[in-house]
Amino acid sequence: MRQRDDMTFPHEEYVRRIEGLRDRMRERKLDAVVISDPENLMYLTDYQTTGYSFFQALVVPLDGDCFMVTRNMEESNVHARTWVEKTRPYADNGDAIQRLIEALREFDLYNCTVGYERNSYFLPAYQQDRIHSAYTAGRLLDCFGIVEEGRMIKSKAEIEVMKKAAKATEAGMRAGIDAVKAGVTENDIGAAVSSAMFRAGGEPPAVMPYVTSGPRTMIGHATWEGRTVQDGEHVFLEIGGCYRRYHTAMMRTVVLQDKLSASMESAQRQMQKALRELKKYIQPGLTVSDADKIVRDIVSDGRHGGALITRSGYSIGIAFPPSWDEGYILSLMQGDPQILKEGMTFHIIPWVWGVDGNKTVGISDTIYVTEDGCESFFSLEEEFTLKPGDKKAASTPPKAEPPKAKSTNGKGASA
C-alpha cells in the first residue's frame, strides 16, 4: 500500500481493515470479493466521489494486489485519494460489467469463488444479472455484510474523526437554536444551521438538516419549505454534521413560549430520563434489545400523548446520501440479541411523535461505547429551549394616530 499525505487515516489503519476483511473472507471460503457500496469503499481505501451512481468496485483478492474498476472520470479519485495503485477504468460509452469481468480474468480470478454485495444500493439487479451471466467459470456468492462487520466497531482513530464531525453538528445546532424566533422562515433557520456547520469545519453531510415548525413537525423526514414560524409554536431540529464522510447527529426542540404545557414538559422529562438511564446502563455486553427496552419503556411511561414509533437508536459513522445512518448494520430494536461492544457508535433517539396528537419533539445524543460505559460526542444541554415572545410589545396597544387636520375650500367642504 502507498500512503497519500491527505488521507483520512494513517497507513496502518487501512492495513488493519484490509487484513480484517481477508480474515472474514477466509472464514467464508472466498477467493476474492467485489465491493461496490460507497461507504465500504471509503472505509477500505478512503475513496469517495459524488459520482457513485455509476458502477464502481474494489476487488480484494485473498492474496495479491487490490484493484478498482471505475468510470474514467472517477479514476482520478483513486489516484488522488487512496492507496490503491491498480485501476481498470471504463468509458462512458463502455461496458462497466464487461470491464469488471475482463479485470477478473486478467488477475486470475475468473475461475474462483467470488463474493459480491447483493444488497448494495448501487449494484442494481440488472447489473447483478449481467455479472452472473458473464462469470461462468467460477462461483458467485453473496457476501453482503462482510465489510460492515469491521465498520460496526470504530477504532480510536475513527472516534477522533467523529469528534470533528461532532463539532460541526453542535455548531450547527447552536446556530439553529439561536435563529429560531417568530417571523423567520424555516429556510432562514436551515441557512443558519448549514453556515455554522461548514464554518466549524464540517463537510457536505449525507442529509441536510431537518428543520420543521408547528404542524409540519408531524411529517416524517420533512425539512424546510419556506414556512414562517409563528409565535407560540415549536421548532424541531435534527442535524447530522460530517467530517471525511463520518457523521454524528442530534435532535433538539425550540418552544416559542415562556412555559411548557404539561404534555410538552412530560415529553421533555421522559426523553431526558431515557437518555440518562440508557447512558448509565450502556456497556459492552448489554444486548441491543435490552438497550431499546430501556428507552421505549421510559418514553411510553409519559403523559404526553405521543409515542416512540421507530427504533430507539442506530449505528452511525460513514455515510453518503441518501442517509447518514448505519442502521442497516445495527439498530437498537426489540428482539435483537446482538451485544454492544467497545467502539460501537450510536445515535440514540428517544424522540416523541404526536405530543397532544399534533407535535413531534426530540432530544437525542450520539455516543460511543467505552471499555466500561459510554461517552457522548457532545456538550450541548439535553433540554428544550424556551424562547418567550415579546410580551411587552404584544400587550401594548398601538398608539392612536393624531386626528387629521380639516381644511375647507371656502364652501364648507373638506378637501
- The yes-or-no verdict on residue 17 having pLDDT over 80 is yes
Residue-level pLDDT at 71: 97
- The yes-or-no verdict on residue 413 having pLDDT over 60 is no
Residue with the bigger pLDDT between 401 and 202: it is 202
Three-state secondary structure call for residue 97: helix
Amino acid type, 299? V
Domain 11-151 adopts which CATH fold?
A: Creatine Amidinohydrolase; Chain A, domain 1 (3.40.350)
Interatomic CA distance for residues 266 and 284, integer angstroms: 31
Mean pLDDT, residues 331-354 taken together: 97
- Mean pLDDT computed over every residue of the chain: 93
**Number of neighbouring beta carbons within 10 Å of residue 213:** 24
pTM for the model:
0.91
The architecture in CATH of the region 156-391 reads Alpha-Beta Complex (3.90)
Residue-level pLDDT at 398: 42
Q: For the chain, give every domain's residue range.
A: 11-151, 156-391
Under 8 Å between Cβ of 172 and 193: yes
Interatomic CA distance for residues 23 and 11, integer angstroms: 19
Mean pLDDT, residues 341-345 taken together: 98
Interatomic CA distance for residues 90 and 85, integer angstroms: 16
Mean pLDDT, residues 281-300 taken together: 98
State the pLDDT confidence band at 4, using cuts at 50, 70 and 90: confident
DSSP annotation of 268? H
Q: Supply 246's cell numbers.
A: 463520518
Three-state secondary structure call for residue 161: helix
Three-state secondary structure call for residue 188: helix
